[in-house]
Amino acid sequence: DIQMTQSPASLSASLEEIVTITCQPSQDIGNYLSWYQQKPGKSPQLLIHSATSLADGVPSRFSGSRSGTQYSLKINRLQVEDTGIYYCLQGYSAPWTFGGGTKLELK
Amino acid sequence: EVQLQQSGAELVKPGASVKLSCKTSGYTFSNYYMSWLKQMPGQNIEWIGNIYGGNGGTGYNQKFKGKATLTVDKSSSTAYMDLSSLTSEDSAVYFCARTQNWEGCFDYWGQGVMVTVSS
């Protein structure tokens, strides 16, 4: 199975701050990387697919990038509604696997 | 509007089985895969497997083979997951999620259903 190492595990940031979360797969996954936001008691919501493509309806302050084998989710100008847990997912090879999650809180 | 509506919470006894449903609307069911996922309280998300709405073809995470069985009813655009021989380790929230296989992502999710295994 492909292991997804996500960091940091938790993060506290201020309003309007720039936040970056990263994921490192244990082997090549091409651009089969997506990002999700999960609020307490809710299902995850797709933010980014194909490493860099913004999902429909997602605010443009969210962006995804890839540098070599490292993938990043960036949130520009953090808003109150951006708190929650963020997960990366590799959909390259079965079983599809998630990163361990990043809990994002407001400072 | 794409919608995935899951059945209600379940309380089941150890050793029993349970069948969860995921009724869809707003898209052509037979054109997409549906995945099922497990999330234990405060834990990571695990992919259980997927099933193609067109022909019922399945793929499973080896970890869940023998535990989960995925089926579909095209006539009602509904996906099902049977969980068998339940133990406390199966207590979790289970999600169905429409799968974009070509992009390797889940674009729409059900609301989740809590399964509690307890005597």
Residue range A75-88, pLDDT digits in tens = 999 999 999 999 99
- The per-residue pLDDT of chain B, averaged, comes to 96
**A33-38 and A19-25 as β-strands: parallel, antiparallel, unpaired?**
unpaired
For residue B106, list chain A residues with Cβ-Cβ distance below 8 A: 34, 36, 44, 46, 89
Query: What pLDDT does B41 receive?
Result: 86
Residues of A with CB under 8 A from a CB of B: 32-34, 36, 42-46, 49-50, 55, 87, 89-92, 94-101
CA distance B95 to B112: 4
Q: Considering only the beta carbons, identify the residue of B47, B95, B109 that sits closest to A95.
A: B47
How far is residue A104 from each of residues A83, A93, A95, B36, B104, measured CA to CA in Å?
Answer: 5, 28, 27, 26, 25
Q: Considering only the beta carbons, identify the residue of A32, A33, A98 that sits closest to B45.
A: A98
pLDDT band with cut points at 50, 70 and 90 for residue B115: very high
Amino acid at the residue A30: G
What residues of chain A score a pLDDT lower than 70? none
The dihedral over CA atoms of B40, B46, B48, B53, expressed in degrees to the nearest 10, equals 110
Q: Do B105 and A100 touch (CB under 8 A)?
A: no
